[in-house]
Structure 1
Amino acid sequence: MDPMVLAVQQWVNQTYRHVNGYQVIEENGKTGWSTVYALTRALQHELGITALADNFGPTTSAKYKEFGEMELGKVPSTAQGENIVTILQGACYCKGYNPGAMNGVFSEQTKQAVINLQTDTGLPVRDGKVYDYIFKAFLTMDAYKLTFGGDPVIRTIQQDLNNKYYTTSGVQPCDGHYQRGTNRALVYGLQTEIGIPAASQTGSVGPATRAGLPTLSVGSSGQFVKLFQYALKFNERNVTSFNGVYNEALKNIVIDFQRFTMLDADGIAGRQTWLSALISTGDPDRRGTACDGITQVTPARAHALKSAGYQLIGRYLTNYSAGTLNKKIQPGELQTIFNAGLKVFPIYQTTGNFASYFNASQGKSDALAAYAAARKYGFNKGTTIYFAVDFDALGDEIINLIVPYFRAVKGTFATYGDYYNVGVYGPRNVCIQVSNSGYAKYSFVSGMSTGYSANLGYPLPNNWAFDQISTIWVGSGDGRINIDNNINSGRDNGSSSVNPHNGVLETPLDSSYTNNVKSEFTTLLNDIMSSGQKAKALRGREAAVQIVLDNDSLITELSHKYNIKKAFIQTALGWEAALEGWLDDIPKDTVVIATYHYFEALEAWENAPIKGEPPTPPILMAEDSSTGPAQIFASTAIKANNWAVNNGIISGRTYDLNKWKDVWEVWRNLHHDLSYNITMCALVLMWGAQSNSNEYETLNYPANMMNYTENQIKRTIGRYNGPQREGNEAAIEYGNRNYQIYQLFEHYNSLSRQ
């Protein structure tokens, strides 16, 4: 906490909290946009503006000039003048400049603070006068000193751009980081050198700027060359001299840049090379060899695409369940694409167009859905699936939301042996951050969104596969199709064939069925549970099925890993979670915990060099109990685990039933770790169905549990309760009764798969 920033926050709140349009801010001593906005609104109020806003716009500038641009000895000695000086001094403290005090007096120290900002920003005028553009510079979060990770060379360039072009560009950051403001300053510089009138300059590349870009080659010199050198530096090219001279060394750098951006590598800085260095689309009129779209590719459309020079097309794996757009790959479409000599790359997107969509849980769920869809279509191992980030993500959103999402996608794919690669679709900074974190092999860049903050001020990612630069129509008549036109780097060659998965492949439960599952599960269990079971139940039926729904991603993952129908796990987990009684959870589990705590204390006493009184055993002792929502005994879990390890189904260690520490470790995991409990539920079902050991009295059914008959399903479910043999009516009844639960879940799983 900065005590002076806290004082600024307290003063501005106290002085303006009752002003209409002022927004009270948190008083935490930390500079942020909220404090800057509060000072801006305070200034606008003092200048007589009634419609207060966060930005220092043309009206604020004009009204401030009417008031009189402040300098030492020329500030009105009025309450208004003192307040405006205090606002400036508060902004100085927030910016890291010391104005001497926050007392409303424009002192020598206040003047020096202004001079320091003018100097840091590289401005040619360093007289301590608060021009409108200076006041505006104070009322931003832009940094004017080198910040952590900043490049001193880029800072020098930023200062030079301010020095020459501040009258149109305004004061831009000087922190050593290429960013949106730096890009704008560069474009303002170009517009000035081209001769575009100041009133017509925008800081963005439009038709007049494109038309005025000069062609540069060896022998060229002057300010255009210098600005081009700056642009190359911003694109992370190895430019070390900014002398405005186009020599052979610069030509070689240009050739390297042209090859990277898939331009003709002639070493001449023409229109396309300029545009590739300035904006995320490059030249939007370029025709690429890749495209993507939401429209089904028919034979006529495939022919049109091929005739237009396209080689690859990106198509969507799924539709958004809550939407009406049918954008996914249609039956037979892939073969149509291949027959035309085209290749395809898969894209996964439901919405992905707002920040709160992204988190680790969503990443895992999306990875499962994408994996299932891609396997169903038959995309081969090694195919890259591009997951979409379809909005202008800011830095903290990328770090705190999007990167964890892709970490989960990557981790989920890893559980399937990295059968597919992870790709990222989004603006440049999203692609860079995700890829640099190691969570995406290739980037599909949404370069068409030139106004995105995550595109402005960022170079093309090193691993870019496709760069989306324009939306166009191709073909005519039946072959007419609307596509996004993409430049293709050649890193991802797409797929030229598929091998469809003909068996059942589970998908996450479609969210539109959640309420149906809850309602029908609750109704069914009310019918099939006895009054005694209901009376002893620890939780309600809806709470039990919620455990199943909350862990749908894990259950889907287990289904894929172990070739087991989801409904098996859902049935056992849902029933046992609903049946778990207070006697299971409290007395029985408590006795087990007390028993092992005694064993641990006894072992410690036996190993102690000096022994006191031995620990007292608990009155009741038990070394095992069914525990956790899936109600599994440690002994059962150990048998299932050892069978799975010995058969190569899982990796890890085996456990010894005769060693209390082994039993205690497994029981503790079952009791405390829900994911472990559910995973063991799946393995117990598999062990019961597939093992042929007489000791376990199991069923010796096929390893593929995706296509069991009705009788096999009932007996497998019943085996979860005990051996399936004559005389064990309870286990047989368990299977017959709970088959109804299986049918309920399988119904909605089947709908989700479709």
Structure 2
Amino acid sequence: MDEMILQVQKYLNTTYGGRTGYSQAPENGKTGWSTMYSLTRALQIELGISNTSDSFGPLTSSTYKSWGEMELGNVPTTNKGERIVLILQGACWCKGYNPGGFDGVFGEGTRQAVIGLQTDAGLPIRNGRVYDYIFKAFLTMDAYKLTLGGDPRIQQMQRDLNYHYYTTSGVQPTDGHYQRGTNRALIFGIQTEQGIPSEQQTGSVGPTTRDRLPTLGYGSTGVFVKFLQYALYVNNFDAGVFDGIYGIGVRDTVKEFQTFVGLGSDGYAGKQTWLSVLVSTGDPTRKGTACDCITEITPARAQTLKNAGYQSVGRYLTNVSGGHNKKIQPNELQNIFDAGLTIFPIFQEVSLDESYFSKTKGIEAAAKAYKAAKSYGFKKDTIIYFAVDFDALGHQITNSIIPHFEGINEEMNRLGGLYQIGVYGPRSVCSSVSEAGYAITSFVSGMSNGFSGNLGYPLPANWAFDQISTISIGSGEGFIEIDNNIKSGRDNGQSSVDYTEPTEPTEPVDPPPSSIDPNEDPIARRALYNKWEEIGCKIPVLHQSSSSLFTTEFKFNKSYFVTGGPFYEVYVEAATTAIMPGLSEYSLINFTNGQPEIKAESFLGDTVTSLTVEQIEDYENFMKDITLSVGNGTLAASMTPVGNELKIDLKIFSEEVEVSIRKDKLLLEITLTLFLKNDKLTSEPAPIDEPAPVFVPLLQQVAVGGAVLGIAALAIWASPALFTWTSTAAIVGFLIGSDDDPEDTSS
């Protein structure tokens, strides 16, 4: 226990306990995320942010900068200023930087603590000023000193990336451990050097980044060679000094890496090599020789696979009650063998979160897998792949996944050791389970490239299959959808079994699309979530939410609070529907191949005359991003007065998404709702069916000009900055293009 941290925790609870939006800090004298969240929320309360959250997001950043970035000799000597300094000093103690006291005075000791973090993080500016990104760095559990097991060379890489690219990547950890943040910082660096504008950089490899990756070879020099050296090193291939010179050592290391991941070994770093060192999918268009599927392999489908160059196919040993009929069917094994293919068995019942994993459940899984494999006649030493199909974090792997595989091994050994154990999951899971001695080979879910367990982790040394894409091949009776896998040769599957397969009745077919639950059905969830993420990531306001909008925790058909301020609140919901609903109260516009029926600017009405050229361009880019993501779909909008509020709905209907192996399709319906609040309340609230006077000009303009859709979209686009307006009337003025607008703070 640390006495200073305990003092900080007690101060926070005494000062802010009971305040709306504050979460209690544990009084244990230990630094942890809970204490950091308490410090963050305390800062937000001091800054006047009503909707506090655990994260130091754009709203906290901009509000703090407006209040004034602290430095020696430039801190308000008010009670509020003293309390904000105490929050900073508390964060310093929690991060291991001694600020010289805990007294609310920004003295030389506090300045030196700030310089200490700036220096440890490798930042170019080391002047003791608490910039917004520095305050944010203090309020995380990221470490900026080498921690236990950290690699000094990875720390060197992390500091170099922070030094050059912190303005786009943010301040990333410099603890010597390669991780998600380091991976993103490396890609931000690549995007910067490629000349991609900062506002278009994402920290993930998209089409533009991929297309601009240079081909490097012996004799190449410069920053891209250094990036390649970094990427090779964190993939466990050491090319020597990070000097930006593509010498013999780098060439030979590239060849070794290419051989390891199954590429042609030519010593040149082309796009496929770049993608293999940067992202878990590698090149997703690369053709594999193995696959897996939930579809029965008929003779026609087996021939399709054979003709397409596939050698091995993964199939499931069992079904889940109430789920798809995905297990190996009667006579299916013979179809596979007759086509000259091999099979590798997979055991997956339900494995979508940590609750499905424990030592006891591992024992149960082994018993079920053993019984099923034996009934099909799989021979001794066949490798069965046990699935972990979620983005397991480090503590979940340690506390639940490892014990689960311990149970699998114990039970399989008790049953005579007939079968070998393999693991399916993200890179982190596969490596951890294998290094613990509980799996002989790994089947990597590489195409889940957004998983934290695939970002910042190298391909496991024992990988047998790497799942990189979902594709469809064949036609007619031979049509089949498969997950395309790269095969290393460590497991070539089984080419025969010992027993005649039992016959049994075919199980029920899939339910109709309308009854498919996107939160429970894994195929539907993956397809719909990919479309949600593709569209949602293009909507700026959604990145302000502290909710789990772009993680495996996201739920369909659930409304999420996104952000809000004194005069507004924003919510989002992603629902599914089998058919386009009737929308008699909405204005509609359809898209074909990502192109709207009319130009985005033209349905803004009179508002367009009050916008700057830059604002119009940003708005049009926003609309273009949405429509391109939607493809063939519809945009709908409505404005409805509800007492003293105005409800603005913007609905985005995607093109149809395939959600089952039968090619059933559903529409994704994303609803963004903005509530504008009347800040001129009288003693009597407005009648429920009549708008408050402040909203009348807006409702009149859209009624006459028909610009409801354009203005609704404008409101959603501008909502990240709405908190900067000083009244509801100011927001309405902006939306209708009034000449009486306050000073422009929207851009």
1:399 is aligned to: 398
Q: Contact (CA 8 Å) 2:312, 2:343: kept in 1 or not?
A: yes
Deviations 1:506-542 (A, max 9, x none): xxxxxxxxxxxxxxxxxxxxxxxxxxxxxxxxxxxxx
Q: Does 1:259 align with 2:249?
A: no
Task: Flag structure 1 segments of 5+ consecutive residues without an equivalent.
Answer: 505-754
Q: Deviations over 1:172-205 (max 9, x none)?
A: 0011110111101100100000010011111111
Contact conserved, 1:299 with 1:340, CA < 8 A, in 2? yes
- SS of 1:168's equivalent in the other structure is helix
Q: What residue identity is the alignment partner of 1:289?
A: T
**Deviation, structure 1 residue 324:** 2.5
Partners of 1:436 and 1:502 lie apart in 2 by 35
Q: Give the drift of 1:501.
A: 6.9
Deviations 1:306-328 (A, max 9, x none): 1111111100000112x321110
Does the Cα contact within 8 Å between 1:218 and 1:247 map onto a contact in 2? Answer: yes
Q: Is 1:195 matched up with 2:226?
A: no
**Alignment check: 8 A CA contact 1:375 1:501 kept:** no
1:217 alignment partner in structure 2: 217
Higher strand share: 2
The yes-or-no answer on 1:376 pairing with 2:375 is yes
Match of 2:347? 348
Match of 1:76 in 2: 76
- Aligned equivalent of 2:137: 137
Which amino acid counterpart does residue 209 of structure 2 have in structure 1? Answer: T
Equivalent residue of 1:336, what SS?
Answer: helix
Work out whether residues 142 and 173 of structure 2, in 8 Å CA contact, stay in contact via their aligned partners in 1: yes
Q: Which residue of 1 aligns with 2:54?
A: 54
Shift of 1:304: 1.2
Please name the residue that 1:161 is paired with: 161
CA distance in 1, matches of 2:394, 2:275: 25
| Other-structure match for 1:500 | 499
For 1:310, the equivalent position in structure 2 comes to 310
Q: Deviations over 1:553-602 (max 9, x none)?
A: xxxxxxxxxxxxxxxxxxxxxxxxxxxxxxxxxxxxxxxxxxxxxxxxxx
Preserved contact between residue 83 and residue 104 of structure 1 (Cα < 8 Å) = yes
Q: Is the 8 A contact 2:215 2:268 kept in 1?
A: yes
Deviation of the 1:231 alpha carbon: 0.4
Gaps of 5+ in 2: 504-747
Question: Is the CA contact (8 Å cut-off) linking 2:317 and 2:327 kept in structure 1?
Answer: yes
Q: In structure 2, the residue corresponding to 1:24 is in which secondary structure?
A: coil
TM-score after normalising by structure 1: 0.66
In 1: Cα distance, 2:21 partner to 2:38 partner: 10
Q: Which residue of 1 aligns with 2:249?
A: 249
Instruction: Give the secondary structure class of the aligned counterpart of 2:424.
Output: strand
SS of the aligned residue for 1:236 comes to coil
Which residue of 2 is the match for residue 87 of structure 1?
A: 87
Match of 2:392, SS state, is coil
Contact 1:473 1:480 in 2 (8 A): yes
- Residue 440 and residue 215 in structure 1: after superposition, are their counterparts in 2 closer, same or farther (change >3 A)? same
- Equivalent residues in 2 for 1:324-339, closer than 5 Å: 324-339=323-338
* Equivalent in the alignment of 1:487: 486
Contact 1:120 1:145 in 2 (8 A): yes
2:222 partner amino acid: G
1:378-397, Cα deviation, whole Å (9 max, x unpaired) = 11111000000010111111
CA–CA distance in 1 between the matches of 2:42 and 2:500?
Answer: 65
User: How large is the Cα RMSD of the aligned pairs?
Assistant: 1.2
1:82, distance to aligned residue in structure 2 (A): 1.1
Kindly state the Cα deviation for residue 417 of structure 1 after the two structures are TM-superposed: 3.2
Letter in 2 for 1:144: Y
**Count of aligned pairs:** 503
| Distance (whole Å) between structure 1 residues aligned to residue 145 and residue 256 of structure 2 | 32
**Amino acid across the alignment from 2:466:** D
Following superposition of structure 1 onto structure 2, how do residues 710-721 of structure 1 map, counting pairs within 5 Å? none
Shift of 1:80: 1.6
Q: What secondary structure is seen at the aligned counterpart in 2 of 1:487? A: strand
* Equivalent in the alignment of 1:412: 411
Residues in 2 aligned to 1:501 and 1:105: alpha-carbon distance in whole angstroms: 81
Q: Which residue of 1 aligns with 2:42?
A: 42
Say which one has the larger Rg.
1
Contact 2:376 2:501 in 1 (8 A): no
Query: Aligned to 1:265, what secondary structure does the other structure show?
Result: coil
Aligned match of 1:385: 384
Equivalent in the alignment of 1:449: 448
Amino acid in the other structure paired with 1:399: T
> Separation in 2 of the partners of 1:367 and 1:501?
22
Cα offset, 1:25, TM superposition: 2.6
Aligned with 2:423: secondary structure?
strand
Q: How far off its partner does 1:58 sit? A: 0.9
Distance in 2, matches of 1:129 and 1:61, equals 15
Partner residue in 1 for 2:98: 98
Deviations 1:442-497 (A, max 9, x none): 00001111111111110000000000111111111221111111110011010111
Q: CA deviation at 1:294?
A: 0.7
Q: Structure 1, residues 287-308: CA drift from partner, whole Å, max 9, x if none?
A: 1111101111111111111111
CA positional deviation for 1:500: 2.0
Whole-Å Cα distance in 1 between the matches of residues 280 and 7 of structure 2? 42
Q: C-alpha separation between the residues in 2 aligned to 1:293 and 1:141?
A: 40
How far does the alpha carbon of each residue in 1:57-111 deviate from its partner, in whole angstroms, 9 at most, with x for none? 1111111110111100001111221111111111101100011112111110000
Partner AA of 1:313 in structure 2: V
SS in 2 for 1:185: helix
Shift of 1:411: 1.6
C-alpha displacement at 1:503, in angstroms? Answer: 10
Q: Does 1:27 align with 2:15?
A: no
1:449 is paired with a residue whose SS is: coil
SS at match of 1:43: helix
Shift of 1:28: 1.0
Runs of 4+ in 1 over 6 A off after TM superposition: 501-504
Separation of aligned partners in 1, 2:148 and 2:290: 39
SS at match of 2:421: strand
In the alignment, the residues of structure 2 paired with residue 340 and residue 163 of structure 1 have an alpha-carbon distance, to the nearest angstrom, of 57
1:502 Cα deviation after fit: 8.0
Q: State the partner residue of 1:127.
A: 127
Residues of 2 paired with 1:264 and 1:494: CA distance? Answer: 23
1:94-149 C-alpha deviation (Å, 9 max, x unpaired): 10001111211111000000000001011111100001110111011001001101
Q: 1:501 to 1:93 in 2, by over 3 A?
A: farther
Query: Secondary structure in 1 aligned to 2:230?
Result: helix
Q: In the alignment, is residue 435 of structure 1 matched against residue 464 of structure 2? A: no
CA distance in 1: counterparts of 2:205 and 2:415, whole angstroms:
46
State the AA in 1 paired with 2:372: A
Residues 296-695 of structure 1: matches in 2 within 5 Å? Answer: 296-321=296-321, 323-500=322-499
Give the letter for the 1:280 counterpart. S
- Which amino acid is 1:464 matched to? W
Q: Secondary structure at the match of 2:54?
A: coil
Q: Is the 8 A contact 1:293 1:314 kept in 2?
A: yes
Once residues 454 and 6 of structure 1 are traced to their aligned partners in structure 2, the CA distance between those partners, rounded to angstroms, is: 33
- Is the contact made by 2:71 and 2:128 (CA closer than 8 Å) also made in structure 1? yes
Tell me if structure 1 keeps the 8 A contact 2:330–2:501.
no
Whole-Å separation in 1 of the counterparts to 2:500 and 2:35: 57
TM-score (norm 2): 0.67
Give yes or no for contact 1:37–1:54 (8 Å, CA) kept in 2: yes
Q: Which residue of 2 aligns with 1:12?
A: 12
SS of aligned partner of 2:327: coil
Aligned equivalents of 2:310, 2:25: Cα separation in 1: 54
Q: Distance in 2 between matches of 1:182 and 1:203?
A: 10
Query: Which range moves more in the overlay, 275-284 or 8-17?
Result: 8-17
Residue pairs, 1:280-299, within 5 angstroms: 280-299=280-299
In 2, distance between residues paired with 1:164 and 1:17?
40
**Paired residues of 1:255 and 1:266 also in contact (CA < 8 A):** yes
